Chain A
Amino acid sequence: MFKRILGKAITYFLLILCGLVMVVPFLWMVSTAMKSQTDINSGSVGFIPYSNVTYYHNEGKREKAKIVTQDKEFSVINIYSEDGKTFKRSYVKVPNSSLTFERKIRFNFNNFSEAFSKVPFGRYFINTIFVSLCVLLGVLISSSLAAYAFARMRFKGRDFIFYLFISMMIVPQPIYLIPSYYLLTKIGWINTYWALIVPWVANIFSIFLLRQQFKTIPKDLFDAAVIDGCSRFGILWKIILPISKPILATTAIFSIIGSWNSFMWPLVMTSSENIRVLQVGLSYFAQESSSHTALLMSASTFSIAPLLILFLFAQRQIISSFVTSGLKE
């Protein structure tokens, strides 16, 4: 009995520990994103964002204040009104007992908007969404058509073409990156949306996944449709695709995650700010403002947020997609 409880306790301890290791970087990112830069620079590492708040004491009243400049004798201060919207400037002698400081928990949500406007992140978001949607649409169309032919039609060279495609899956992106860059330069696509979209509108893995699914559909269904006078395209559109919704969703999930997180390809193929995607924009931002830790964490937070929200809502579907596709390979 005691042994079992101990076993359970150790199991849960390890699982929680591992869960924390997985999640803590994200929690720390969000909390650092809401700290003030002075707080970070003064060596605050914890998870709760603090800020120093200055108060000015005058005739028994306590008013919020901010030190503007300070020299050996005087501090110039702004004294804020109750609602914090207006202030009057004043000065006090140093050292002065009418000023007190308090360390207060304060969430600097301003960091998000400041980071967002520092470089055109809005533009990067739109570019990323545009590219992701175009690629998604292309992948769904081209893969359904090809998978249908590979699964349900007989034609010369079918198996050869299929295995040729499959064998290319083991060639990783870094291998063909350099020649792709050369070819896209030759056709003048560098720095255009074409370079970000067109090479990715066909996806071998999606074709493979869909073909496996289409093969499991019973033949009777097709025969019945043919008797009803359904054309080949009609069969795909009206019968196969509707009953393959789960696998199409899986394909769509992989496509969206892939496009959203794609980094090396757009880094190499684009340089102008107009068509820069989010990940590349974030990487440039990280180089330019490496000392603005709070802003960097803010930018990382809002770059991760859309996919993270998608994941949290559809996590069951997403995890099982990864598992089934992983085991099918």
Chain B
Amino acid sequence: MKPKKDLNLFPYLYILPAAIIIIAFRLIPIILSFILSFFKWTIKGPEKFIGLINYSQLLRDPGFWQSLTNTFYLVIFVVPITLILSLLFANLLNRTTKLSGLFRTSYFIPTVTSLVAISIVWKLIFSPQNGLMNHILGFFGIHGLGWLSESRGIFTLLLGAMGLKIPAFLGGPSLALCAIIIVCIWRSLGYNTIIYLAGLQNIPEVYYEAAEIDGASKIKQFFKITIPLISPTTFYVLIMTTIVTFQVFAQVYMMTGPPVGGPLGTTKVIVYYIFEKGIDAQEFSYASAIALVLFIIIFALTMLQKRLEKKVQY
């Protein structure tokens, strides 16, 4: 029998390789990002402790508020639309047997392809002159949309087409940001549909059979059986899509501009703003303060949704 002390150290050797990497390249940077935000910090190192000055500067920074607003627009449009569409298509897939493999494969392709490449393709699709989008919309009598170069809000444009004028702050996301929204929905739809499909297949068939005998219509079955029983999946999809959408970067970086985030900053999202301040301008501490705000938002949403999940679960 080996001595006891030797046995106790043994497990640590197994976690050592992973632990070193995770502590050095994850834990320390996370702690450092918190510390950085309270200092004046350059590439040379810390200069002085400045307390909450970065944060008070943040509150007065119109660029920050604009990027936060744009990000909220993105989340508010992408998350519910993705949720509804993926539940719809998962239901349709669940009802079919023929070709369902083919559908699943095609829906999943956007999930595994690189964001950089698909952003390049979508940028061309939205091109006003020789893009596919305006070409297709042309068949429906819609012409001349500027898409990624259009800074006016979607509500301004819609109501404008009906001859109504609204103040600029009610204009909603710019048409350029709507293009980004469309790409985000397109990208996340397939994954969430497949997740929902797995959830649907876990619902025991007997519930539907019983409802059928009681004479409940398909629509009633959907609202009284499917929706309640699928709610754990719904919360998972909700959390994941929200968190992913808060972090959108590549689409904006590749599709908009120059300058990135244009036109008129209406597509500048918060992660791009962190990148612009932290990497381009090398204002480490200011960028860290922005990053911390983003983290607090994501953390709060995760906690909120986890609580709701516990309450609503059937």
Contacts and interface: CB of A to CB of B under 8 A. Distances in A.
B253 interface: yes
A318 B27 CA distance: 30
A317 to B, nearest CB: 12
Contacts, number: 265
B247 A183 contact: no
B195 A178 contact: no
30 contacts: A21-B186, A24-B132, A26-B121, A45-B130, A146-B18, A153-B14, A168-B27, A170-B243, A170-B298, A170-B299, A172-B294, A174-B274, A177-B279, A178-B279, A178-B287, A178-B288, A179-B30, A179-B288, A181-B278, A183-B28, A183-B32, A202-B18, A202-B19, A202-B25, A261-B115, A286-B120, A296-B124, A315-B108, A319-B104, A323-B194
A161 B279 contact: no
A29 B11 contact: no
A28 B132 contact: yes
Contacts of A286: 116, 120, 254
A175 interface: yes
Nearest to B232: A327
- 7 pairs of A and B residues whose beta carbons are closest in the complex: A202-B21, A149-B14, A199-B25, A176-B29, A179-B32, A146-B18, A178-B278
A155 B8 contact: yes
Contacts of B89: 14-15, 18
A177 B32 CA distance: 11
Interface string A273-317: 000000100110010000001001101100110011001100100
Given A145-B14, A149-B11, A25 B115 contact: no
A25 B116 contact: no
A52 B160 CA distance: 42
B48 to A, nearest CB: 17
Interface stretch (B73-81, B92-100, B204-212): B92-100
Interface string B120-147: 1110110001111001000000000000
Interface size class of A (residues with CB under 8 A): 35 or more
A40 B131 CA distance: 10
A303 B279 contact: no
Given A26-B113, A142-B21, 11 more contacts: A15-B103, A40-B130, A142-B17, A175-B292, A179-B284, A204-B26, A263-B250, A300-B117, A300-B121, A323-B194, A323-B195
B24 to A, nearest CB: 8
A30 to B, nearest CB: 10
